[in-house]
Structure 1
C-alpha cells in the first residue's frame, strides 16, 4: 500500500522531532510519509510547488496564510489545536494526545474530504492509457494506477472506453439502481445536449464501485454498438461531464489499441498520455506506422498530443533489445515483467505484485516522495 502523504505544520520544533522519532520506530514507518515544517514561509514555498496532494495538518497560524491562496482548496486539510473539535466549518485534531491515536486520526482524515471542501471545476487530472499494439497491458496498468491514487485517499474514476470492456476483471458493485449505468448516461447526455443542458444526476449516480482498484466505474453496455458508434464529439462530452463534475481528483481512461473516434477524443482531452510499448518487433513497427500516418494526415492533432506523452516500456526485463521507433524517443519509465501473470486464473493476482506496484508508484509520479524519509524542516533547514 502506498504510504499516506502528510504535511504537518507546528511552530514547536521539539514537538515535531518527538512525533517523527515515534513514527520511525513504530508501525507507522511504512504507513505514512510526513514532511514537517516549523516555519510558515518555508511551508508556503513548498505548497506553491504544487507537488503535495495529500493531507495538510497545521496550526491556525500556518493555515491563515496558506488558505488565502485559492489553489489551496485542492488539498485536504485539518487544524491542529489544543483540543479536538468538530463543526460545520472545520476539523480540529488535538495535538496533545497519544501519538498512536493522533496518527490514526491523520490517516483517517487523509482518506476523506471535509464537507466544505470542493474541487475546482475542470481540475480533475485526466490520464489516458494507450498503445498501438493489443495485449500491451494497458488495462492492467490503468487499473493499478487507479488503485494507487485511491490508496492515497484521492477520488478516482476509471473510464473504460474499449468496445470489449476489461471491466469484467473487476467485481463491480451492481446493487445500485440498474437504470443508472453507462448506457443510460449516454442516452441522458444526448438528450441533455439537445436541450443545451447537463444531466441532472452527477457521474457518481451512474457509477458503481470497483473496490479492488479503489475507484468508481461504469457497468459497460451489453451492446457493443453503443460504444462502437460513439462519435468523437460524444466521447468528448462524456469525458468533460465526468471531469467537470468536481467529484474526482483523477480520471483514468482506458482505450483500445489502434485508432477510432473514442481514442482520438481521449488522447486530445488528456493532460497526460501513458503510451505503453513492449520490446517486440510487432509493437515497434505498429507504433512507427501509426506515428507516420498521424504526422502525414493529422499533423495538427499529432502535435497537440505530442507534449503530453510518456513512453513506458512494459514487461521490462532489464534491457531493451529492439530499437525504439523514432529517433530521439526516450522512455520515461518501465514496468516489470511478472512471470506469474502468464497463466492467471484469478484477477486478484493482478493487483498484488509488489514489484509491479513499486513501478506503478513511479508512474503515478509518487517516486519523488515515496523514497524519502520522514524529515523535519526547521526554518528551511532539513534535519
Structure 2
C-alpha cells in the first residue's frame, strides 16, 4: 500500500475524494492523507511522515516547496491552465473530473515517475463475465449493457465491454459518431486463430479506452463479415483472452446471437446471463419459447448452464409487470422509460436516474452482493471456455 497525499482548500472536494477511494478498489493500493491548509501539509512533510505520491493544488506546492521530498512523484491539481510566469512543479491533473478518471491519472503519474503500479488489479474473485441477452430485438439489451458498464466503471471497477452484435451501433448511443470505427476486433479474432500465444499482447495493443463508458472496448468494425463467420470456439477464446489478462473486474458481453451454438458458447463462458423480457405479452411469449427450445435441444447440458440465467423484466408503459409466474417472481424489474422511444439525444439512455438506480440494484443483487465478490453458489461457475488450447466444455 502506498501513501497518497492530496491537498486542496475545498473541504467538500477532499471529502468526496476520500469517500471514493475508501469505497473503491483503490483502497487496496492507496492510504490517503488529505490537507486543506498549506501550513499543515508543510509541517507533515518536514516531519518526515510517509509520502509516496503528492497531488497538490499550486498554492500548496509553492508553500511547501522547500519541504517536498526528493524522488516522490508530484502532480499539480489544476483548476485551469497555469498562470503566466507561474512555475509548474509537476504534471497537471484536472481537479474537476469524474473521480474514476482522476484516480486513473494519479495512477498513471505515479507509475510513470516511480516505475511502480498502484492501479487496482482485478478483484480477488477474478473477472466476472456477464452476458446480456434477449429473444427479441428492441428489448433494450444494449441499453442495459452500457448502463451496467458505466455504473461499474464509475464505482471504480475495471471493465471491458465486448460487443458482438451483427450491426454494432454503439457509436450512436455514446455520441462517438460513425467515424469511430476500426478493425481492432477483426484483428484480435485473427490473432486468436493464427497466433494464440500472443493473445495478451494483441489485446493490450488493440483495445481502446472509452471516456464516456469509462471502460475498455474494441471500436465497432466497419462491416459484419467477421461476425457472420464467427465460430463458437472463437467466442470462447476471445472471452478467455480478456479474462486471462487479469486486469478487469467485469466483462460485459453484448451479443444478438440466436438460440444456436454461439449462444450456448456464450452461456458456457459467462458467470451470469441477464435475459431481458420486455413488457408486452408477445415478446414475453417469445422468450418463453426460446428457453423451452433450448431445454429440448441441449437437454441436461443446458439444464446445468441455465442456472446462470437471471430474468430482467421490463415494466409495461403503465409501470407494472405483466405476469406473476414463478419465473417472474424471481426476476428483477427494470423501469420503462417512455422518452426513450423517440430518443433524439441517445446519451439520455445513460442518464435516467430511475434506470441507473435499478442497474445499481442489479449489481448489488447478482454481481457483487454486499459489495463483495460474485455469488458463485447462486450463479454457478463457468468451466474453461472452448477456445485455443482448451477442450470443449
TM above 0.5, one fold? Answer: yes
Residue 154 of structure 1, aligned match among 154, 157, 171: 157
* CA–CA separation in structure 1 for the residues paired with 2:324 and 2:280: 9
The 8 Å contact of residues 172 and 210 in structure 1, kept in 2 or not, is answered as: no
Could you say which residue in structure 2 is the equivalent of 1:78? Answer: 31
Are the counterparts in 1 of residues 25 and 120 from structure 2 also a CA contact under 8 Å? no
Alignment of 1:347-366 (within 5 A): 347-365=346-364
Q: Alignment length, in residue pairs?
A: 299
Give the equivalent residue in structure 1 for 2:126.
123
Secondary structure at 2:152's aligned position in 1?
helix
User: Matched residues in 2 for 1:222 and 1:176: separation?
Assistant: 9
The residue that corresponds to 1:304 in the other structure is: 304
Computed over aligned residues only, the root mean square deviation of the Cα atoms, in angstroms, reads 3.9
How far 1:290 sits from its partner (Å)? Answer: 1.5
Contact 1:85 1:93 in 2 (8 A): no
Alignment map for 1:16-165 (pairs within 5 Å)? 26=12, 54-56=25-27, 75-78=28-31, 85-87=50-52, 108-109=102-103, 115-116=117-118, 119=121, 123-165=126-168
Q: What is the aligned partner in structure 2 of residue 187 from structure 1?
A: 190
Number of the residue aligned with 1:44:
none
Q: Distance in 2 between matches of 1:174 and 1:342?
A: 21
SS of the residue aligned with 1:252? strand
* Whole-Å separation in 2 of the counterparts to 1:254 and 1:304: 22
2:255 match: 255
Superposition map of 1:138-287 within 5 A: 138-169=141-172, 170-172=174-176, 181-193=184-196, 197-199=197-199, 201-256=201-256, 258-287=258-287
When residues 345 and 173 of structure 1 are mapped into structure 2, their CA distance, relative to the original with a 3 A threshold, is closer
Partners in 1 of 2:165 and 2:31 — Cα distance? Answer: 40
Q: Which has the larger radius of gyration?
A: 2
Q: Does the C-alpha gap of structure 1 residues 207 and 146 become closer, same or farther in structure 2, counting only changes over 3 Å? A: same
Residue 232 and residue 368 in structure 1: after superposition, are their counterparts in 2 closer, same or farther (change >3 A)? closer
> Cα 1:257–1:218, aligned 2, differ >3 Å: closer, same or farther?
same
Q: Which has the higher contact order (CA 8 A, sep 6+)?
A: 1
- CA shift in 2, pair 1:364/1:230, >3 Å: same
What stretches of structure 1 of length at least 5 have no aligned partner? 1-21, 37-51, 57-74, 371-383
Show the counterpart of 1:320.
321
Distance in 1, Cα, partners of 2:180 & 2:161: 17
